[in-house]
Structure 1
């Protein structure tokens, strides 16, 4: 299925052409399935310091030692 060609112009006047090429819409082979998540992403998002804040938030509001 061939869809379309788009021309995009940036605010700086640079033009780019984007073409959506030929592809088939339908079932994907089993090998194309994304890998199963082992839960690592969820665990990394849930890392907290002892007072419940995220490590990044804990670093931002610490006073600077002078």
Structure 2
């Protein structure tokens, strides 16, 4: 049986790491970092492989936001 962490797994440390990566990537993509949005997608897979739940938390965190 495979288990995964819930949305709560995106803790402040992971937010900082992800934002730092976004800050480095944004200029390469010619995107203003102030316009960047970080979404969290949770997927629950059941057996046989089937998506049982798909949840999207839009704009979960970013330059002006926190979880």
The bucket for the TM-score relative to the shorter chain is: under 0.3
With normalisation by structure 1, the TM-score equals: 0.21
The TM-score with structure 2 as length reference comes to: 0.21
If asked which structure has higher relative contact order (CA below 8 Å, sep 6+), I would say 2
Choose 1 or 2 for highest CA Rg: 1
Higher-helix-fraction structure: 2
Higher strand share: 2
